[in-house]
Amino acid sequence: MSIQIDFRNLTVKYGHKFALQDVSLEIPEKRIFAIIGPANSGKTTLLKCINRTIDFVSHAKVQGRVLIDGEDVFRIRNVYELRRKVGMVFPLPVGLPLSVYENVAYAPRRAGIHDRHELDAIVEKCLRQAMLWDEVKDRLQLLGTRLSGGQQQRLTLARALSLRPEILCLDEFSIAIDPVTTMRIEDILRELKNEMTIVLVTNLVQQAHRLADYTAFFSASRLIEANRTETIFNQAAHRLTARYVAGDFG
């Protein structure tokens, strides 16, 4: 089993405030890797380093390395290619001013697919994977922002999948979705891990337990521990971790 993402002594500061301190973590290929931890522990910041959207925070300072397939993302020349390799689902839906269809067709078109039938097929497949197809198939030209919050969130998932990413990052994706849909998407994620590496930031400890092969626990900008999910939940090395997964704080 090879390593897909390798964080080496990663430190991120916003101004003088640490968001991540000396984090070293290996994320294996084609598994579901959960990141758990209380609010403000640096989980989102970690994801932002994977596709380098941290670049947009002008006051952020990054030290250390993030290797994807052995290549340092902060040295990479074609950052657009990197971002196409990494699908990103944000905690709250971000409705781009595009139609439902265009939201999903955008990335494939950029990748050079212009054949109408081929695009239609990709759009349908991604929307099905995101459990949204049945609800929007009759109104694909509707502006994405007109959908309900939960639908928009699934649209972002479809959009992320449209890149056919090697890595799929989800940041607390279930905040805006009802439990039934969440469960169905979790099923989809289990299937998707055959095709891609999934990094799942979640505030629901049980979601990590249900889904993830590996789990890492972050607290106050530090990685406390990372291990097989079973180990984290049953024989955590640190008391803090044990208390957190037991729901004692957070």
Partner 1 sequence: MSNGSGNAVRKPRARYIANAMRAFGDRAEPLVEWTIRLCGWSAILFVFSIFFFIFREAAPIFGELNWLEFFTSTQWQPSSEVHPRYGILALLVGTVSVTTLAMLVAVPLGLGAAVFISEFCTGKLKESLKILIELLAAIPSIVWGFIGYMVLGPIIIKLTGAPVGVNLLNGGLILGLMSVPIIVSVGEDALKAVPDSFREAAVSLGASRWEVVYRVLFPAAKNGLLAAVLLGVGRAIGETMAVLMCTGHAVQIPHSLLDPVRTLTATIASELGESAAGDPHYRVLFVIGLVLFAITFAVNVIADLIVKGVRNEQSR
Binding residues for ligand ADP, rule: CB under 6 A, are 14, 19, 37, 39-45, 57
For Cα atoms 13, 14, 19, give the angle at the middle one, nearest 5 degrees.
Answer: 55
Report what 110 binds from Mg ion, partner 1, ligand ADP, none; CB cut-off 5-8 Å by kind. Answer: partner 1
Among 13, 30, 65, 84, indicate the residue that binds partner 1 (CB under 8 A): 84
Q: Which is nearer to ligand ADP, 44 or 162 (CB)?
A: 44
Least distance in Å: CB of 231 to partner 1? 32
Report what 204 binds from Mg ion, ligand ADP, partner 1, none; CB cut-off 5-8 Å by kind. Answer: none
Contact 66, 10 (CB under 8 A): yes
Q: Which is nearer to partner 1, 139 or 190 (CB)?
A: 139
Which residues, in sequence order, are CB contacts of 127 under 8 Å at separation 6+? Answer: 100, 104, 133, 136, 137, 155, 158
Q: Does 44 bind Mg ion (CB under 5 A)?
A: yes
b/e burial code for range 11-43 (CB count within 10 A of at least 16 → b) = ebbeeeebbbbebebbbeebbbbbbbbeeebbb
The H-assigned helical ranges of the chain are 43-50, 79-85, 100-110, 116-129, 133-136, 149-161, 179-192, 205-211, 229-234, 239-245
The separation between CA 196 and the C-alpha centre of its own chain, rounded to angstroms, equals 11
Q: Does 106 bind partner 1 (CB under 8 A)?
A: yes
Among 1, 70, 77, 97, indicate the residue that binds partner 1 (CB under 8 A): 97
Report what 40 binds from ligand ADP, Mg ion, partner 1, none; CB cut-off 5-8 Å by kind. Answer: ligand ADP
Q: Which residues bind partner 1 (CB under 8 A)?
A: 51, 53, 56, 58, 80-81, 83-84, 86-88, 90, 92, 94, 96-99, 106-107, 110-111, 141-143, 146, 156, 159-160, 163
